[in-house]
Amino acid sequence: MGGAVSEIEKAGKNRLLFIGKLLVSVVLNVGEY
């Protein structure tokens, strides 16, 4: 059971990192216009 929870936590962190990178790239792109 503990393994499943850590897998879910890992997926959540990866998603947050991905969304963070996406937001940063969008902000940088908008800032150049």
pLDDT in tens, 1-33: 567 789 888 988 999 999 999 999 999 988 766
In DSSP notation, 10-23 reads HHHHHHHHHHHHHH
- Domain span at 4: 1-33
Asked whether the CA dihedral 20, 24, 27, 33 is positive or negative, the reply is negative
Burial of 20 (0-12, 13-18, 19+ CB in 10 A): exposed
The model carries a pTM of: 0.58
Q: How many independent structural domains does the chain possess?
A: 1
Give the pLDDT confidence score for residue 8 in this predicted structure: 82
